[in-house]
Amino acid sequence: MIESVLIFNQLGKPRLIKTYKQLDTATQQQLLREIHSLVSKRSDTLCNFLHGSQQLVGSSSRIVYRHYATLYFVFIVDSSESELGILDLIQVFVEALDRVFENVCELDLIFHFDDVHYILSEVVSAGMVVETNLAEISKAVNEGRRQKKPLPEPSRVGIGALRRGFV
């Protein structure tokens, strides 16, 4: 299964952290740092698979990543996943992002990080791939976004706002 999905930039700033095993906040941050230190120093001429040897990524896990412009998309998977398959999956995921955001860039991921979560959840759910068809993915995402449209801004939901009867 897929253990976690991380998106971060070259400096190691997180753009998305999704773990399919329960990890507390501090551990997630540690994982991020660990993976960033492993991945960021690899040049593009090296292969995109790494065997986990670190504390948080066990030796049976593999790190599959892709580097797009400023961002690293990292999937940590166990031995039951196909490396090449995951590599393709990352491509599918990024293409899905691109369809939804049109010419996706890092800023889209920053300002719509909730949307990125929703898109990811269409592709990967509970650590398993549920959909690899781009058309299906964007259909589901757009459905979700349509429901949100009435709001003036992306997802301005607040507890306080609810209490005071705004929104």
Partner 1 sequence: MNPLFFSPPHSPGILASPTSFRLRMFEKSLTDLIQGLRANKRNESEYISKSLEEIQNESAAIDKLNYLHMLGYDMNWANFNVVEVMSSAKFSEKRAGYLAASQSFNQDTDVLMLATNLIRKDLASTNFMEIATAELAMDLFDDVLAILGHSRPYIRKKAIACLYKMTLKHPEGLHDFVPQLKERLDDPDPSVVSSAVSVICELAHTNPRNYLPLAPKLYHLLNSSNNNWMLIKIVKLFASLTPIEPRLAKKLHGPLSSLICTTTAMSLLYECINTAVVGDIISVPLPVTDSIGREIDFAELCAHKLEVFYDSSDHNLRYVGLVTLAELQVRRPDLVVNQYETILRCLDDPDMGIRMRALQVISGMATRRNLSQIVKRLMSQLILSNTIALKPGNTEGGPDEDELESTPLIDPSGVSLVSAKGSFTTPKKAASSSEPNAADNPEYRLAAVEAIIDMCSRQSYANMTNFEWYVAVLVDLVYIAGVDVGQLLSQRILDVTVRVRQVREYSVRMMRQLLSDVRLTDFVSGESPHAAVLSTAAYILGEYCTLVPASCDDIGLLLFPCLRQLTSDQQAAFVLAAMKVYTNWLQDVSGYWNDEVWELVRSTNTTTMDSITSLFLGQEGDDLDVVVAELPLQVEGLLRSFIEITKAVSVATSNMSASEPPVCRELHSLFTMYELNPVSAAAQGKVPVPDGLDLDSWIGDEIPDTSLRVLPPPPPPRQTRAPAQRNYASKDHKANRKDQPLGMLPDVDSIPVMQLDLGDLATARPKPRKSDKPKKKKKSKSSKRHKKPTPEPSPPMVPVDIVGDEDMPDIPTKPLNDTPAQQPGSISGDTDNAGAEQPASPPQQH
Q: Does 127 bind partner 1 (CB under 8 A)?
A: yes
Question: Total number of residues binding partner 1 (CB under 8 A)?
Answer: 76
Q: How many CA atoms lie within 13 A of 78 on its CB side?
A: 8
Q: Which two tokens stand for residue 120?
A: 């990811």
Instruction: Collect all residues with Cβ–Cβ distance below 8 Å to 166 and sequence separation of at least 6.
Output: none
* CA distances, 54 to each of 36, 37, 51, 58, 85 (Å): 12, 11, 9, 6, 23
CA–CA dist 146, 17 (Å, integer): 25
Which residues 128-147 are close enough to bind partner 1 by CB under 8 A? 128-133, 136, 140, 144, 147
Among 14, 34, 40, 68, interactor with partner 1 by CB under 8 A: 14
Separation of CA 120 from chain center: 6
Among 37, 55, 59, 82, interactor with partner 1 by CB under 8 A: 82
**For the residues of 119-136, what is the DSSP string, one character each?**
HHHHHEETTEE----HHH
Residue (of 110, 90, 101, 78) closest to 8 by Cα position: 110
Which residues 49-78 are close enough to bind partner 1 by CB under 8 A? 49-51, 70, 78
Q: Does 11 bind partner 1 (CB under 8 A)?
A: yes
For the bound state, the minimum distance from the C-beta of residue 108 to partner 1, rounded and expressed in Å, comes to 7
Q: Does 40 bind partner 1 (CB under 8 A)?
A: no
Q: Does 165 bind partner 1 (CB under 8 A)?
A: no
Among 55, 58, 111, 142, interactor with partner 1 by CB under 8 A: 111
Q: Does 99 bind partner 1 (CB under 8 A)?
A: no
Among 12, 38, 83, 95, interactor with partner 1 by CB under 8 A: 83
For the bound state, the minimum distance from the C-beta of residue 153 to partner 1, rounded and expressed in Å, comes to 5
